[in-house]
Amino acid sequence: MTKRIIPIVLAAALALPAACTRETPAPSPPESAGTVIEYAPIRENTLYEYEGENISFSIYTTIVNGSRVQRRTDVSNGTVSTEVLQYEDGALKLIYGDPLVNFYEDITGFESNGEMLLLQEPLYPGAMWEADINSVSLVPYVDEPIETPYGNFETLIVATNYTDGRIQKIYYAKGVGVVRMSYLQSDETEIVINLKNIVEDAPLEVSLNVYTADASASVEAETRSLSLGTNADLKKILETELKIAPEGRLPLLTANTSINSITVDRSENALTLDLNQAFDDGSASAECLGKTLGEFYGVSRVIISVAGAELTTVTVTPNEG
């Protein structure tokens, strides 16, 4: 009888650990409120206008290159800045930003000068990620109703806490993008900025000072407005403008002259303009051409070449650019 009992006891003992270590089913992942591209859509040829107390600014997507987006911000105090965003693997990152320089050239291929993770899927209440080494972001709400001058929205909030005590909240609405920004400073003062307007099918209006000379080499400047859409062919637009001159003045480019390339080297603060062999290399024309493009691109030197051969260099002094 004992021989029959022992196997039963052993079987029960062996079964006990298996019962104790039975795996608990993994909880279902939180339901996602939406995708990054839904909350931060790429909208070409669209001007976003924002306003807050004592400040207003606009944001425009100037270049879309694959998963990277270059944007320009114009602030009411005259400041112009450029940033590059990257959409990749369910995330949105700020990979390049310069608060002082406006880049007309495509800088989407620039090496990052400091990444910040803005959005990360899945997006749900309680989602959290490290924005950068000095901040952590949290999604406290995904359907928070807010009112703005442009309209009412159900928003996903991303609250970013910085190590110095500052708190930033960005409110995203599906199909629209950022509709509110709030910044709580370490001294407890708060800045709130709301979406004021969205202008669709709109170009970015920028100014170009065109320097031209008359027959006696007297130089004058004329300010013109350029309309630039997303991924605009700026080389072609500038070529057209530089062939136009007021009555009695000489155009910077003749009808047969074409621009081969415009290359900007920010590390050297220089621009190289390569033209075809029809270019008239008169000194006044070259000087005016250099001033015009030097100011526009914000560089101190403009190197003019013809079919790849350097012709002359024009220095743009600070009061000119």
All structural domains of the chain with their residue ranges? 36-199, 204-320
Determine contact, residues 212/246, Cβ cutoff 8 Å: yes
CATH architecture label of 36-199 = Beta Barrel (2.40)
Q: Which two tokens stand for residue 289?
A: 């051409």
**Separation of alpha carbons 91 and 251, rounded Å:** 48
Residue type (1 letter), 151: G
The predicted structure's pLDDT at residue 186: 80
The predicted structure's pLDDT at residue 185: 86
- Please identify which residue in the block is written with the tokens 């409110």: 171
The predicted structure's pLDDT at residue 7: 37
Residue type (1 letter), 34: G
**Separation of alpha carbons 129 and 132, rounded Å:** 9
The predicted structure's pLDDT at residue 13: 31
Q: What is the pLDDT of residues 109-119, one digit of tens each?
A: 999 998 999 99
Which residue in 234, 230, 304 sits closest to 273, CA to CA? 304
The predicted structure's pLDDT at residue 283: 66
Q: Which two tokens stand for residue 21?
A: 């270590």
The predicted structure's pLDDT at residue 270: 97
Tell me the pTM: 0.86
The predicted structure's pLDDT at residue 71: 97
**Separation of alpha carbons 146 and 132, rounded Å:** 27
**Separation of alpha carbons 214 and 226, rounded Å:** 24
The predicted structure's pLDDT at residue 284: 72
Query: Consecutive sets of 10 residues in the chain, 321 residues long: mean pLDDT of each?
Result: 34 37 63 94 98 95 97 93 96 91 90 94 96 94 96 97 94 98 90 97 96 92 97 97 94 95 95 94 84 96 96 81 40
Q: What are phi and psi of 286, to 5 degrees?
A: -65, -40
Determine contact, residues 72/62, Cβ cutoff 8 Å: yes
CB count in 10 Å sphere of residue 19: 7
